[in-house]
Every structure is written in structure tokens, then in C-alpha cells.
Amino acid sequence: MHVTFYGAIREVTGSMHLLESGKDSILMDCGLFQGRRKESDAKNRIFPVDPSHVTNMILSHAHIDHSGRIPLLIKGGFNGRVFTTRTTADACSYLLRDSAHIQESDALYLNYKTVRGHLYNLANGKKNDLTNREQSEITKLLKHNGLRLNKEAISKLLTQYNLNSVEPLYTMTDAEAALSAFDGYPYNTPITVGKGMTLTFFEAGHILGSALCLLSFREKGRRFNVIFTGDIGRFGRPILRNPTLSFPENIGPIDLMIMESTYGARHHEPAEELKDRLAEVINATYNKGGVVVIPAFAFGRTQDVVYIIHELRNEGRIPKLPVFVDSPLAGNLTRVFAEHPEVYDKATHKTFLEKGLNPFEFKGLNYISTVAESMECMKTTTPHIIISSSGMCEAGRILHHLRYRVHNPNNTIVIVGYMAQHTLGRRIMEAGWEYKKQGRTGKAPIVKILGKEYPLKADVVKIGGFSAHADREEMYTFLRKSNLHIKNIAVVHGEEEQSLAFADFLKEKGFKAFVPKKGQTITID
Ligand SMILES: [Zn+2]
């Protein structure tokens, strides 16, 4: 048996590994690289395996850094099926379409910039040398009503002037073709995925539908077991069940566990405190007459926040102020949550379902879909809570809410998710923190939103307990308390220092562990 590690190796995005045994080549995850645009685009455009060589694929969960390159797999000639949990299949039907839409709009925007630059050159040289009239003529040519990019006109001009055009990584048609290859299965049920090879999904507790994937097969007269963890969640988080600890007794030793290490060297704030902290922030902002703005990922984090606010309201710990979820994608994905109560934990059943309540619906909660409703919400001056995406404030409607709210010291921006380097979310978090350290006196820091500068006077509060990834101790708890006998651990899905530190930690605890190099193949026989 060979395993090759292709992505999320000494980094966190682009998850992809290949298992080969006999005639079976099973791809585990097919995720998008994310980060700095140019760098990740270049990485995403090179597909490291021949897709027609892959016999089947298994997908650990719906996050785009695990699923986002599946359309490229299909486009490249993959003929097998994508095996995943039912919930992940449903969530991907929204997430992959959304990803295709982003790819198409990014390419269109870059092509627009190429054509615009060329037209400026033809007219007079640089933008600033042009009269307002010349500029508006060009805008009229390239945008519908001066707003929406005119795709047809842009592509016609690219051809006419023989300019280099950017092709989207994949299109909506590619995403839809990929979705037709998906098959959703329940947890704890062996499924045949190759010759004498079965796959079983176990609860990973990371996001709705996330799975630990066990591949079991015979080779050279003996049984092999490989577990791919995908991302591992935490114990005691709302809505989701805990990561599985009790596996079927008869599975035998695990020859290889491919394990994530996002927080391999870190320790999280306890999850129990996040509810108290959120209540505190909501009450303080309400008393000042302000607005609570929460940037959140559309899948997972948005529903976590809605769920906790619902609980706090029911317990009478916060006032019954209006709550808005402004992200059409989040609205659709919340429906996926509501359609899969079979995967909720006991507490969710007890608090909500047994009383006939939907955890994601309550009086005063509004899912915004149209732009007009969104605009209306931005202009509302009475206290309310707004949850919007994108999670790292890089795009989407959250930018407009921030634009309307950052300058007012009565408002609070609550950071509930990971903010990567070089994102607006990270800038707000760090600048807000600095300003607070100075006692919120003197000149407020400046943040740039949609090309304009704003003083960041709103309070910025970070609540860390929301993380969907286990920290070092929780991952150790998973290993220690499970009934698995693990022979070797490949540490993946972490920045290099996190992965190396986690592998060292595991070795100290008596496990055999290593951090593979990108493209490295290991053989187990
Ligand atoms: Zn994930």
C-alpha cells in the first residue's frame, strides 16, 4: 500500500492525499489552496495527480480547503464517485456553486482591469490623465449601468485587442458536473469503495457532516486499516456530537492515521466561557444603544452563533433585540442544518427539537436575502445584531455593514473566527486590540474598507472559544481515550511549526509520528 501526501502538507489549505492499493487509487479530499491570491491561484492550477488514474474519492467534510478542487478533478477526466456523508453532500451543493461563482467573478474582474488599462492607454496614457468624460465613457462601455461588469463587452474587447485573458479556475458548469458525482452516506456504515475495500465514516465533531474516514482493505493476504481524520472538532461544543472515541471492536490495528494539526502547539480558551462572553458583549452594546456586528463563515460559525443567541434569549440573559443573518449562502446552509437533525447532539434535541423548536428559527431572527433588505438593515439605528460573511471580511456583504458601523464607539465588532494574515478581519482585530490597549484615547486607527478609509472607533472583542478545531490537548484526548491501536501517525494540515511541534509531542507521549513532505510517498507492507 502506498500513500502520497499532496496537499495541506506543512500548511493548512489544499488538503489532498492519495492511497494506492492494487488497482485502487483513492483520493482523500481535493481541497483548494487559499491565501495570497497569486500564490494560491498558481498552486490550484497544477493538479498533482492524473485525475483519470483516480478510481474513487472520499471527502472528509464540506469546507472548501477540503472540497474546492473537486470540479477540477472531474474536468480532468475522473470517472469515479465522490463518497461523503449525506450532510456534506448537501452542503457542497451550495458551497461548490458558490466557489465557482467566486472563481468566475474573480476572473471577470481581472479581465475587466486588463481591458480598462488598455483603453486608458489608448485614450491618453494613465487614468489621471483622462478627463472625467473619457473615464465615464470607458466605464459605460465595460459596466451595465455603471455598476455590474459587462461580461460580453469585456470578452469581445479582449479578443479585439488580442489581450491576455484570465480563465476561471472552474465554472458553474464544472461545479454542477462535479456535484453529480457525489454520493452521500450515513455514519457508521461500511460502504464498498474498491476491490475488497470498505470505507466507514465516523463523527469528527468539526462541522456538520464532518467525518473521520476509515479505509479497510486486504492486500498480500492481510488486513490494512487507514484512518484519515479530516479536521477534528472539539468536545462539548454546541449542536454537534463529540468526535468518535469508540470504534468497532473488531477493526484491528490502524496501520496509518493521517491526522490534522491546525492547533498542534496551541491551547484554546474553554468552550464553556464563550456563551457568557457573548452575553456580556451583547448586553453592554445594547445598553449603549449600539449594534453588534459579527463577521462569520457561512457554514458552521454562523449557525453556532445563531444557536447560542437563541439559547441566551430563551434563558432571558439578553434582551429580545432583532437579529439579522445577512448572507444568502448562510441562509441556504442553515436550511441544510435544519434538514439534518439526525446528526445533532443530545443537548440540541433536548433544548429545541423535543419542544418542537427549530434551533435556527426564532421570533426576531431574520434571514436577509435581497440587497434592498440588506441596505435597509445597514441604515437601522436601533440596537440589533448582524451576522454576515465572508468570515475574514475579505468580500461579501459584511464589508458594507462594517462600512456603516466601524466609526461609532457604541457599536461592537465581535471576532468569532480565525483571521488569516493579510485580511481585513485580521487588521480590524489587531488595530482594535492596539487601540484598546491605549485606553481608546487619541486618534482612532484607520481601516480601509472597499477602497475608503474609516476610523475604527467601534469596540473590537475577540471570543476564542468558538474554534471548530481541537487544540493539542483535545487531539491528545481523542487519541488517548479512543479504543484504537495506532501504529503510525502522519501529521498533516498545520503550519509547519504546528505540525512539527505536534509530531514531537506525540513522540513524547509514545506514539510513532512523522510530518511528511509535500509529494512524499510512503509504502506500508
Ligand atoms: Zn475544516
Q: What is the pLDDT of residues 9-51, one digit of tens each?
A: 999 899 999 999 999 999 999 999 987 778 888 999 999 999 9
- Between the CA of 495 and the centroid of ligand 1 the distance, in Å, is 14
Q: How high is the pLDDT of residue 352?
A: 85
Which secondary-structure segment (H or E) carries 224? strand 222-228
- Between the CA of 110 and the centroid of ligand 1 the distance, in Å, is 29
pLDDT tens by residue, 281-327: 999 999 999 999 999 999 889 999 999 999 999 999 999 999 999 99
Number of neighbours of residue 30 by Cβ within 10 angstroms: 30
For the entire predicted model, the pTM comes to 0.89
- pLDDT (average), residues 164-171: 95
Q: How high is the pLDDT of residue 165?
A: 94
- Between the CA of 205 and the centroid of ligand 1 the distance, in Å, is 10
What is the side-by-side strand order in the sheet with 191-194? 191-194, 197-203, 211-219, 222-228, 256-260, 489-492, 513-514
pLDDT tens by residue, 215-258: 999 998 999 999 999 999 999 888 889 999 999 988 999 999 99
Report the alpha-carbon distance of residue 149 to residue 210 in Å, rounded.
37
3-class DSSP state of 77: coil
- Between the CA of 65 and the centroid of ligand 1 the distance, in Å, is 7
Cross-strand partners of 192: 198
- Between the CA of 232 and the centroid of ligand 1 the distance, in Å, is 8
Q: How high is the pLDDT of residue 81?
A: 98
- Between the CA of 305 and the centroid of ligand 1 the distance, in Å, is 17
Q: How high is the pLDDT of residue 127?
A: 67
- Between the CA of 217 and the centroid of ligand 1 the distance, in Å, is 26
Q: What amino acid occupies position 444?
A: A
Report DSSP letters for 106-170, one per residue: HHHHHHHHHHHHHHHHHHTSSGGGS-HHHHHHHHHHHEETTTEE-HHHHHHHHHHTT---PPPSS
CB 42 within 8 A of CB 34: no
Task: Give CATH for domain 2-97+172-267+468-523.
Answer: 3.60.15.10
Q: Is the pLDDT of residue 437 over 80?
A: yes
pLDDT tens by residue, 101-135: 989 988 998 999 999 989 988 887 766 677 788 88
Q: How high is the pLDDT of residue 338?
A: 84
The pLDDT-based confidence of 344 (bands split at 50, 70, 90) is: confident
Report the alpha-carbon distance of residue 28 to residue 48 in Å, rounded.
13
Geometric angle at alpha carbon 26, from 20 and 27, rounded to 5°: 115
- Ramachandran quadrant class, 94 (left: phi over 0; alpha: psi -120 to 50; beta: rest): alpha
The pLDDT-based confidence of 78 (bands split at 50, 70, 90) is: very high
Q: What percent of the chain has pLDDT over 90?
A: 74
- pLDDT (average), residues 384-409: 92
Q: Bigger pLDDT: 342 or 213?
A: 213
- Between the CA of 231 and the centroid of ligand 1 the distance, in Å, is 5
Q: Is the pLDDT of residue 84 over 70?
A: yes
Round the average pLDDT of the chain to a whole number and report it: 92
C-alpha cell at 490: 502522519
C-alpha cell at 79: 470517472
Q: How high is the pLDDT of residue 129?
A: 72
- Between the CA of 142 and the centroid of ligand 1 the distance, in Å, is 38
- Between the CA of 62 and the centroid of ligand 1 the distance, in Å, is 7
- Between the CA of 207 and the centroid of ligand 1 the distance, in Å, is 7
- Between the CA of 13 and the centroid of ligand 1 the distance, in Å, is 9
- Between the CA of 206 and the centroid of ligand 1 the distance, in Å, is 7
- Between the CA of 523 and the centroid of ligand 1 the distance, in Å, is 27
- Between the CA of 302 and the centroid of ligand 1 the distance, in Å, is 14
Weakest mean pLDDT among 183-187, 355-359, 374-378, 517-521: 355-359
What distances in angstroms separate CA 368 from CA 331, 375, 378, 386, 478, one per listed residue? 8, 10, 12, 10, 39
- Between the CA of 233 and the centroid of ligand 1 the distance, in Å, is 9
The pLDDT-based confidence of 271 (bands split at 50, 70, 90) is: low
C-alpha cell at 479: 487519541
C-alpha cell at 92: 457542497
pLDDT tens by residue, 48-76: 999 999 999 999 999 999 999 999 999 99
- Between the CA of 425 and the centroid of ligand 1 the distance, in Å, is 19
- Between the CA of 436 and the centroid of ligand 1 the distance, in Å, is 31
- Between the CA of 247 and the centroid of ligand 1 the distance, in Å, is 22
- pLDDT (average), residues 77-82: 97
Class of residue 155 by CB neighbours under 10 A (exposed 0-12, middle 13-18, buried 19+):
middle
- Between the CA of 64 and the centroid of ligand 1 the distance, in Å, is 8
- Between the CA of 203 and the centroid of ligand 1 the distance, in Å, is 13
Q: Is the pLDDT of residue 423 over 70?
A: yes
Q: Is the pLDDT of residue 421 over 80?
A: no
pLDDT tens by residue, 474-483: 999 999 999 9
C-alpha cell at 112: 475587466
Domain 273-466 in CATH 3.40.50.10890: yes
Q: Are strands 2-7 and 521-523 parallel, antiparallel or unpaired?
A: antiparallel
- Between the CA of 483 and the centroid of ligand 1 the distance, in Å, is 24
CB 511 within 8 A of CB 486: yes
